[in-house]
Chain A
Amino acid sequence: KNEVEQSPQNLTAQEGEFITINCSYSVGISALHWLQQHPGGGIVSLFMLSSGKKKHGRLIATINIQEKHSSLHITASHPRDSAVYICAVRSGGSGSRLTFGEGTQLTVNP
């Protein structure tokens, strides 16, 4: 079993829909990251959180430390949101090294 599990692996939505991507992890962590990988391959950091909730534009990330679970929400989805979304955790015992999930491929159709 991977230390970081994402669901779903693939997600297709219609423009305007509310989207949720889930991340579960099995180790103690000091922080969780959400990353976005564009079709061209570049990786961009979206959020880093260790508790509660963060919001940036139409993106919202939440984390429940007790349940070892995080969600990434996209409100009013748009075709430009189509990308791979990656969850990664940093374990307190391993300095600043990250362990990555396999990613969720999101496609938003117009």
Chain B
Amino acid sequence: NAGVTQTPKFQVLKTGQSMTLQCAQDMNHNSMYWYRQDPGMGLRLIYYSASEGTTDKGEVPNGYNVSRLNKREFSLRLESAAPSQTSVYFCASSPGGAYGYTFGSGTRLTVV
């Protein structure tokens, strides 16, 4: 099925460990996004990629890095996980411009 695929769905990390969240879309969308969702807060943009080869910081980029590997894939890396990064992470994609968004199913990350 066409859509946005995120892996893993669940992850527990110890403080200081690193990991990469993977995201891939098969809709030929130009733009891809990483959001985090915390209780009592709206989704917040971590990083985005308006097109292949470009990435930009969002509202809450500290502690994260991203790679737009190709048009399909956009990964999010935590170099040294902290408990404050415990959250649900969503990847999304969009054709860009005046079009809607497609979201992945989310990754629930716990840092202990």
Residues on A lying within 8 angstroms of B by beta carbon are 2, 4, 30-31, 33, 35, 41-45, 48, 50, 86, 88, 95-103
Interface segment among B18-26, B77-85, B94-102: the answer is B94-102
B100–A86 touching, CB < 8 Å? no
Q: Is B53 an interface residue (CB 8 A)?
A: no
Q: In the complex the two chains form, what is the Cα distance from A86 to B102 in whole Å?
A: 14
Q: List residues of chain A with CB within 8 A of the CB of B90.
A: 43
How far in angstroms is the closest Cβ of chain A from B35? 8
Q: List 30 A-B contacts (CB under 8 A).
A: A2-B42, A4-B42, A31-B98, A33-B100, A41-B88, A41-B106, A41-B108, A42-B103, A43-B90, A44-B103, A45-B101, A45-B102, A48-B98, A48-B100, A50-B98, A86-B42, A88-B43, A95-B50, A96-B31, A96-B50, A96-B94, A96-B97, A97-B33, A97-B45, A98-B43, A99-B42, A100-B42, A100-B44, A101-B42, A102-B41
Checking A2, A44, A48, A97 against B48 with a beta-carbon cut-off of 8 angstroms, the contacting residue is A97
Q: In the complex the two chains form, what is the Cα distance from A2 to B59 in whole Å?
A: 13
State the main secondary structure of chain A at its contact with B: strand
Q: List residues of chain A with CB within 8 A of the CB of B45.
A: 97-98
How far in angstroms is the closest Cβ of chain A from B40? 7
- Chain A, Cβ-Cβ closest to B42: A100
Q: In the complex the two chains form, what is the Cα distance from A20 to B45 in whole Å?
A: 27
Q: List residues of chain A with CB within 8 A of the CB of B105.
A: 41-42
A86–B97 touching, CB < 8 Å? no
Q: Given A41-B106, A42-B106, A96-B50, does the pair A33, B42 have CB atoms closer than 8 Å?
A: no
Q: In the complex the two chains form, what is the Cα distance from A30 to B48 in whole Å?
A: 19
Known: A2-B42, A103-B42. 16 other contacts (CB 8 A): A4-B42, A33-B100, A41-B88, A42-B103, A43-B92, A43-B106, A45-B103, A48-B100, A86-B42, A88-B43, A95-B50, A95-B96, A96-B31, A99-B42, A102-B40, A102-B41
